[in-house]
Amino acid sequence: MPELRYDPIKTMWVIISTERAKRPTDFEPAVAVEDRSKFCPFDYGNEDKTPPEVFAIRKPGTAPDTPGWDVRVIPNKFPALRIEGELNREGVGIYDRMNGVGAHEVIVETPEHGPSLADLSVDHIAKVLKAYKERLISLRKDTRFRYILIFKNYGKRAGASLSHTHSQLIATPITPKFVREQLNVAKDYFSRKERCIFCDIIRDEMRFKERIVKIHDRYIVFAPFASSFPFEMRFYPRYHSHDFAAVPDEELPELAYALKDMLLRLKVVLNNPPYNFVLITAPSTAPRPGKPSYWGTLQYDFHWHIELIPRVTTIAGFEWGTGFYINPTPPEEAAKYLREADVKI
């Protein structure tokens, strides 16, 4: 019997379609192998073919925009938003408009062309996470930006235009609707119960166990109860923490290990599928005119996390017209496959 399940964080219903139940082998296999004869601007030695770097983790003594880097952050050559200018908010009849001011950066995760993020060493992934953290801290100093989203598109079907492993960052002058809804849910829940809703969900998942993928000392990965997509996973710190930028540097290796473990499980179970992941963290808390307490309770009610979505199904007319997602793989079954995957780190 199909089920309707409610996600209290995203305030949406999902259809778990057991009638259409699918095993991992029922989905389309791996990311297509690319043509290596094509030029890649992210490759080692092509630093002069990209915009100048804004941050890099480099070997001592090497100069910016030259070889010798481990992780490199550059402005996107074709940005969705531009860093120059003022917002200039204005009304257009009933509508509103502002200039497309923001930041759009690419985090090139390794000088090597072939490996995926899952293939990199734990130490190297920790450097990628360090780059995420430093760019969050730096860009939050710009009071025009209200939110900074870090995300990864892996594979052409997930939106990656270049196969060289990389992540992206977009800073926006408004807090995106999906993020704002999570923030408001968390704030309302805490005001009623004086508890973090994310911490309560983590406790429930650890109690029920059936959707757990992996428990680490400080982190937990599970398939959400109302998974919108097959083999969707959520990654949380087990302790309460509202801001990824506040993760101590000494914890980054464990975080990197847990992230690599999650990505390898997905790669093994679904034969290297395309995927997206997004890092959902606290927005900017810089004071806003007329809103002195804007997100003033974040440290108590919010919980940073990573949402990972394999791109193995297609969103079609029903989903677009109703907001309901149809998931053909119950999260309990997905978690079992992922939990039992033979992963070597």
Q: Give CB contacts under 8 A, 24+ apart, made by 237-243.
A: 237/303, 237/304, 237/305, 238/202, 240/196, 240/199, 240/303, 241/303, 241/304, 242/281, 242/282, 242/298, 242/299, 242/300, 242/301, 242/302, 242/303, 242/304, 243/281, 243/282, 243/298, 243/299, 243/304
**The pLDDT of residue 288 is above 60:** yes
**The pLDDT of residue 244 is above 60:** yes
pLDDT in tens, 26-36: 777 666 555 56
Cα–Cα distance between 223 and 329 in angstroms, integer? 11
What one-character DSSP code corresponds to residue 12?
E
Three-class secondary structure of residue 96 per DSSP:
strand
**The pLDDT of residue 60 is above 80:** yes
Listed by start position, the domains of the chain span 3-31+46-83+95-339
- 8 A C-beta contact, residue 63 and residue 89: no
- 8 A C-beta contact, residue 238 and residue 262: no
Burial 281-314 (b: 16+ CB within 10 A, else e): bbbbeeeeeeeeebbeebeebbbbbbbbbbbbbe
The answer to whether residue 166 is catalytic is yes
Q: What confidence tier does 310 reach under pLDDT thresholds 50, 70, 90? A: very high
Amino acid letter for position 327: N
**In this structure, what token pair is assigned to residue 49?**
């073919």
Contacting residues for 62 by C-beta, under 8 A, at least 6 apart: 68, 69
**The pLDDT of residue 70 is above 90:** yes
User: Which of 108-112, 173-177, 319-323 holds the top average pLDDT?
Assistant: 108-112
Lowest mean pLDDT among 15-19, 20-24, 209-213: 20-24
Beta bridge partners of 16: 3, 327
User: pLDDT over 70 for what percent of the chain?
Assistant: 96
Contacting residues for 187 by C-beta, under 8 A, at least 6 apart: 295, 297, 301, 302
Whole-structure pTM value: 0.94
Average pLDDT of span 289-295: 74
Which among 265, 260, 215, 218 is positioned nearest to 241, based on CA atoms? 218
Amino acid letter for position 35: D
Q: Give CB contacts under 8 A, 24+ apart, made by 23-29.
A: 23/329, 23/337, 24/231, 24/269, 24/270, 24/271, 24/337, 27/230, 27/270, 27/273, 27/310, 27/312, 27/313, 28/273, 28/312, 29/270, 29/271, 29/272, 29/273
Active-site entry in 104, 124, 164, 166: 166
Q: What is the CATH number of domain 3-31+46-83+95-339?
A: 3.30.428.10
Task: Return the higher-pLDDT residue of 184 and 323.
Answer: 184
Which among 178, 183, 137 is positioned nearest to 300, based on CA atoms? 183
